[in-house]
Structure 1
């Protein structure tokens, strides 16, 4: 899939406010806006069709499900994991009622077409939900990190709605309404925002932004209610110009919302297939954690099977990869912790996930702007502690090495003399 499309459509990035190809001006990272409860309250409550939307169709016919009999389990999956009783909201392109989502899919509101959030033309939201909560199939190893969790689907964007003429697809105001609807659903304990609405950092210096303030208010309210909010760092592309990882502590070019709201969200970057920082993952001082971004097989929104591709307007089928799917893995881990430890506060869930992260080769010391504290380690998070890794002893070298070998030689000589003396005593007897 072309890089421009990856950045422009929801399958890998919900972007708004930055024309394709625009370059932001490097500035000091702006402070996230104050939650604007009044701006949030001014937004319509009920799900409705986006302004300017003329149709959502036709949705793609889909791709014949592939045969995946030899697939290995997801790297974040845990044997015997069970998250029944936990409810996870997925604010995305919708979530199809796939049979692998055995915990059930509830329609939490369609803020795109005003119809049903269980319609998913893009397949993105269904793929995300599957990584979170799918139960393994009988003939393959594909399953979610928190199998059996209940899914509340809230439809906030669609690349097909953008193609149909809506200029509001995935903007901050629409996301704010969707987050508010998800938060109001009874029982939601994890909120999955595998989205990133990118803004040039220079445009955020000074002055209030009602849409951003409303989104911040919605996310802040969710966190205040004890919901673990997990958001994508975003993917680099024309609509999301890269930040320089070497300078993100002092200045940035691009800011993603809601991942930028670091106090209220757990922001997730992506690792490549080698487990190293993915250069396509948007860097920033707000990144908390990372997980693998590539998904060999995801739930197919248009069949009961699996797919390795997403089909989007004006594009050939493209791979299921990006920070969205890394976010889904971390959201699944949060759901699994909530299932295992129902009384654990949201802040402790986040602290466990971040505190037990594994070191990532190729990342910088301390808090890395691409992978945060490191790589998701579900097993360590469940245990509450990482297993210690023994460091190899350094090889002797230089003067210290010479002294070490002299000491070893002295011990050998002493033992040899002692052995000779013992042998003489035995002969004397």
Structure 2
């Protein structure tokens, strides 16, 4: 259980000077080749409606916990294996077996002595730079010829024990829907101060998205309209209505086979920090990562509240990030009966719930499509949070979160619990 005391502790954490944090970052890697969003895709072919590309909404509900766990694990493993096979020239496994940008390591807090030691061992320094807006610096290394990322990560860490060494992990969209990139026209506009932030794929123009959408690409190929990002943007637009100051949308995938990496997310957070975005929603999931963790903390120290989906890999799946980072607001999804989606993750701490099925979102082809997953619950919570927290101000975080807690409908066990957090937010939100 995570009580309101967590927010007091989180607020105190944010007051730590940013300069005390290890520093890191890394630009996008890979050629401009078209790739689909990170989702179940054809791995779940028997479960997906070939017309609208949506998972049969009753499949997961009809399975036992054991059957569901087995299926979700197989789908998750197959998804990763297929992604690695299709993009082997650009990605490989890190020391924990998770997908990451091929041949690249990131070190933060590394001393001059360790830098020299690493160079003497044959590690080539590719770049030293800083992420604008977050005051995060990094050193990027190339792995040595003929060496695998997982072994090189361990070796560099031994050479630089004072530093944090990580791969540039790839993050997948947190959805059970087949959603590919699109050639549709990007939504456009100029977001005003206090706009909400979205880190995902690009957003297409659609009649259901009435607010101005200012977009920027953080992967090769620039911003590219995606079904996932478009659907989420439409939920935000519908929730904010006339109160909207617009949306700052960061496309971290573009047309890059190694897009969706931790560096792209970090750079997107930096852009939003520069624009004083108070609330950002992220419906992506992946492993713990030194770069991403530092970037999230640095953004929080600027007064930004991060809302993230807990994922759809099932209760048996490990904790998913960025939702699992301290101070990040983790969101699960519920069905029309206000029951937690059976595929929703539970190892990641849950703060709130919102509708995760029985809602519709915009599609780049101009239509509205059924949605399912924690991906689509997170932006609904973020939009409500924005009404309590219209401007970034660390001193007002606790009051804003408490305000959201007061409007939440208690579900499950009395009080905050591990399944629904503080309860259901925005129960009637979303297109039906």
Report the TM-score, using the length of structure 2 for normalisation: 0.53
Query: How far 1:257 moved relative to its partner?
Result: 0.8
Alignment of 1:20-419 (within 5 A): 20=78, 40-42=136-138, 60=182, 86-107=194-215, 109-115=216-222, 117=223, 119-120=224-225, 122-134=226-238, 144=240, 147-157=243-253, 161=255, 166=257, 168-184=258-274, 186-197=275-286, 199=287, 212-236=289-313, 242-244=314-316, 253-261=317-325, 263-284=326-347, 286-294=349-357, 296-303=359-366, 306-308=367-369, 319-339=370-390, 345-360=396-411, 363-376=412-425
**SS of match in other structure, 1:20:** helix
Query: How far 1:359 moved relative to its partner?
Result: 1.6
Query: How far 1:324 moved relative to its partner?
Result: 0.9
Distance, in Å, in 2 between the alignment partners of 1:7 and 1:326 is 24
Query: How far 1:346 moved relative to its partner?
Result: 2.7
Distance, in Å, in 1 between the alignment partners of 2:351 and 2:242 is 21
**SS of match in other structure, 1:132:** helix
**SS of match in other structure, 2:319:** strand
Mark the runs of 5 or more structure 2 residues left unpaired by the alignment: 1-38, 45-53, 56-72, 81-106, 111-129, 131-135, 141-167, 170-179, 185-190
Residues 221-273 of structure 1: CA deviation (Å, up to 9, x unaligned): 2211111211111112xxxxx335xxxxxxxx512110010x22111011112
User: Do the aligned partners of residues 6 and 254 (structure 1) sit closer, same or farther apart at CA in structure 2, a change above 3 Å counting?
Assistant: farther
User: Do the aligned partners of residues 6 and 188 (structure 1) sit closer, same or farther apart at CA in structure 2, a change above 3 Å counting?
Assistant: farther
Contact 1:295 1:325 in 2 (8 A): no
User: Do the aligned partners of residues 154 and 59 (structure 1) sit closer, same or farther apart at CA in structure 2, a change above 3 Å counting?
Assistant: closer
User: Do the aligned partners of residues 328 and 36 (structure 1) sit closer, same or farther apart at CA in structure 2, a change above 3 Å counting?
Assistant: farther
User: Do the aligned partners of residues 284 and 145 (structure 1) sit closer, same or farther apart at CA in structure 2, a change above 3 Å counting?
Assistant: farther
Report the TM-score, using the length of structure 1 for normalisation: 0.54
Distance, in Å, in 1 between the alignment partners of 2:196 and 2:283 is 13
User: Do the aligned partners of residues 114 and 371 (structure 1) sit closer, same or farther apart at CA in structure 2, a change above 3 Å counting?
Assistant: same
User: Do the aligned partners of residues 364 and 176 (structure 1) sit closer, same or farther apart at CA in structure 2, a change above 3 Å counting?
Assistant: same
Mark the runs of 5 or more structure 1 residues left unpaired by the alignment: 23-34, 45-49, 52-57, 63-82, 135-142, 205-211, 237-241, 245-252, 309-318, 380-429
Distance, in Å, in 2 between the alignment partners of 1:340 and 1:188 is 7
Distance, in Å, in 2 between the alignment partners of 1:268 and 1:156 is 21
User: Do the aligned partners of residues 145 and 256 (structure 1) sit closer, same or farther apart at CA in structure 2, a change above 3 Å counting?
Assistant: farther
**SS of match in other structure, 1:268:** strand
Residues 16-50 of structure 1: CA deviation (Å, up to 9, x unaligned): xx74389xxxxxxxxxxxx9677952279xxxxx9
Query: How far 1:329 moved relative to its partner?
Result: 0.3
**SS of match in other structure, 1:291:** strand
Contact 1:102 1:148 in 2 (8 A): no
Distance, in Å, in 2 between the alignment partners of 1:36 and 1:283 is 31
User: Do the aligned partners of residues 6 and 146 (structure 1) sit closer, same or farther apart at CA in structure 2, a change above 3 Å counting?
Assistant: farther
Contact 2:213 2:249 in 1 (8 A): yes
Residues 185-229 of structure 1: CA deviation (Å, up to 9, x unaligned): x231111112112x4xxxx7xxxxxxx111111111221111121
Distance, in Å, in 2 between the alignment partners of 1:181 and 1:341 is 14
Larger Rg: 1
